[in-house]
């Protein structure tokens, strides 16, 4: 697993400083970048993310009682304390400890044991970038607490579902399951094609000479949860219109023939989901066979659909996507990644093209007067693990 050793050291030392002893276990769960398959997960569709070499590390120590005491090392050593004997209440929206309280409450519902614990937390996933810092925190805490309570190998899908439950009920975002599954189940060097109806995943090797570039648009994702929840509600309403359990159940023909009396916005939301599912399955094949030309076409079409039909891009993101695609040429492609409304873009391209792409991105920033942002070339990382 590619984890920054300084992060692990920081967490180990932070635990020692707070609790005056060594932790019993350390766990790490990564963030993710989604290659394609956007806003499809909560429509029971397909996604193709991979874990990234940034994540959340958690140190845990056993306690003799049922209390949980946690220190957030990245937030000026903020502390949260509660007793498992009483269900911990939800704090104000946006409070970091809702992740902890949520996962602690979720674990028993998903078949896991829990226990009192001393906990130190730190991470290095860029915040507000759409790289799933939140999922990596939930999965790391879930894996850590369940392992501390009973040293068995956690069921990874159940772990992801517990972290998703926590997002829904404590954090306040009605997210799909992609981020948590990517964090919990990914394999080194591989993307994960997930069927979000069955929650089953299939590893897709990313050829060794292929690079993944992640770049921040410079637009911080704001007011995201409400817009996200609104898109989700629109998709569910469209599924009801078509009389299907989820938009996953529609093909292009059913989409068109059942269109009567559906308003234009709902139709376009549904069209994005139907077309994106088909693109995601085709993209997994293209990646598997190293066909970067086809993959690039699919990524560009995904971006256009998210811009025109799903309407979750912003002009700065569109402009950067265009600039990146121009620099990449026909072999590979770039698109927005994650929930949208700013955040990051992702490109997949031959490794030898990375320097030219990065130069084009920097030049774009200079010409557009945008402050230089996060720009990384990564390989897919392993999912959550005990250290
Ligand atoms: C966020 C959510 C995911 C997924 C993406 C969009 O990252 O957490 O579940 O819906 O947006 O693809």
The finding on whether 138 has its CB within 6 A of some atom of ligand 1 is: no
Residue 224: predicted pLDDT = 64
Q: How many CB atoms lie within 10 A of CB 324?
A: 25
The finding on whether 178 has its CB within 6 A of some atom of ligand 1 is: yes
Residue minimizing CA distance to atom 2 of ligand 1: 175
Residue 346: name the closest of 364, 320, 314, 366 by CA. 320
- Complete DSSP assignment for 316-382: HHHHHHHHHHHHHTTSSEEEE-SS-SSSEEEEEEEGGGHHHHHHHHHHHHHHHTPPP--EEEE--B-
- Architecture in CATH of 5-206: 2-Layer Sandwich (3.30)
Highest mean pLDDT among 6-15, 125-134, 365-374: 6-15
User: Which residues of the chain are in CATH 3.30.70.890 domains?
Assistant: 210-378
Query: pLDDT tens-digit profile of 320-365?
Result: 999 999 999 999 999 999 999 999 999 999 999 999 999 999 999 9
| 198 DSSP assignment | T
User: Which residues of the chain are in CATH 3.30.230.10 domains?
Assistant: 5-206
Residue 179 designated active-site: yes
Catalytic entry in 65, 179, 285, 297: 179
Report the predicted TM-score, pTM, of the whole model to 2 decimal places.
0.96
The pLDDT-based confidence of 222 (bands split at 50, 70, 90) is low
Residue 127: predicted pLDDT = 80
The finding on whether 41 has its CB within 6 A of some atom of ligand 1 is: yes
In the predicted model, what is the mean pLDDT of the chain?
95
3-state secondary structure of 27: strand
% of the chain at pLDDT higher than 90: 90
Burial profile 137-165: b = 16 or more Cβ within 10 angstroms, e = fewer = bbbbbbbbbbbbbeeeebebbbbbbbbbb
Query: pLDDT tens-digit profile of 114-150?
Result: 999 999 999 999 887 889 999 999 999 999 999 999 8
Query: pLDDT tens-digit profile of 260-298?
Result: 989 999 999 999 999 999 999 999 999 999 999 999 999
Query: pLDDT tens-digit profile of 228-241?
Result: 889 999 999 999 99
Residue minimizing CA distance to atom 11 of ligand 1: 339
Query: Is CATH 3.40.710.10 the right assignment for the domain spanning 210-378?
Result: no
| 167 DSSP assignment | I
Residue 1: predicted pLDDT = 54
Query: pLDDT tens-digit profile of 34-46?
Result: 999 999 999 999 9
Residue 153: predicted pLDDT = 74
Quote the CA–CA distance of 334 and 345 in Å, as a whole number: 7
Quote the CA–CA distance of 134 and 167 in Å, as a whole number: 8
The finding on whether 179 has its CB within 6 A of some atom of ligand 1 is: yes
Cβ proximity of 5 and 45 under 8 Å? no
Cβ proximity of 159 and 147 under 8 Å? no
Instruction: Looking at the CA of residue 40, tell me the nearest atom of ligand 1.
Output: 12
Q: How many CB atoms lie within 10 A of CB 59?
A: 30
Residue 199's contacts (CB-CB under 8 Å, 6 or more residues apart) are 157, 160, 161, 177, 181
Residue with more model confidence, 50 or 152: 50
């Amino acid at each position: 697993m590619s984890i920054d050793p300084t992060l692990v050291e920081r967490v180990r030392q932070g635990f020692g400083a707070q609790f005056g002893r060594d932790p019993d276990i350390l766990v790490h769960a990564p963030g993710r970048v989604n290659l394609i398959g956007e806003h499809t997960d909560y429509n029971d569709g397909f996604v193709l993310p991979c874990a990234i070499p940034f994540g959340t590390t958690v140190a845990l120590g056993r306690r003799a009682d049922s209390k949980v005491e946690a220190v957030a090392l990245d937030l000026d050593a903020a502390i949260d304390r509660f007793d498992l004997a009483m269900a911990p209440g939800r704090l104000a929206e946006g409070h970091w400890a809702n992740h902890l309280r949520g996962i602690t409450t979720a674990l028993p519902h998903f078949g896991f044991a829990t226990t009192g614990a001393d906990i130190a937390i730190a991470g290095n996933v860029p915040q507000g970038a759409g790289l799933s810092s939140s999922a990596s925190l939930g999965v790391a805490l879930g894996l850590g607490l369940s392992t501390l309570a009973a040293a068995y190998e956690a069921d990874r899908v159940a772990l992801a579902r517990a972290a998703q439950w926590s997002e829904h009920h404590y954090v306040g975002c009605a997210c799909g399951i992609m981020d948590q599954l990517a964090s919990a189940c990914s394999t080194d060097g591989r993307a994960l094609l997930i069927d979000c109806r069955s929650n089953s995943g299939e590893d897709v090797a990313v050829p060794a000479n292929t690079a993944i570039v992640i770049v921040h648009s410079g637009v911080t994702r704001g007011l995201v949860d409400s817009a996200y929840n609104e898109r989700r509600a629109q998709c569910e309403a469209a599924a009801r219109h078509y009389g299907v359990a989820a938009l996953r159940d529609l093909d292009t023909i059913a989409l068109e023939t059942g269109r009567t009396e559906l308003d234009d916005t709902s139709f376009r939301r549904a069209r994005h989901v139907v077309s994106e599912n088909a693109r995601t399955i085709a993209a997994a094949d293209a990646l598997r066979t190293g066909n970067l030309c086809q993959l690039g076409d699919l990524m560009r079409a995904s971006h256009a659909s998210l811009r025109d039909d799903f309407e979750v891009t912003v002009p700065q993101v569109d402009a950067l996507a265009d600039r990146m695609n121009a620099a990449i040429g026909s072999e590979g492609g770039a698109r927005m990644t994650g929930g949208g409304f700013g955040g990051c873009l992702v490109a997949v391209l031959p490794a030898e093209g990375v320097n030219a792409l990065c130069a084009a991105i920097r030049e774009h920033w200079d010409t557009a007067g945008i402050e230089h942002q996060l720009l990384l070339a990564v390989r897919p990382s392993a999912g959550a693990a005990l250290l």
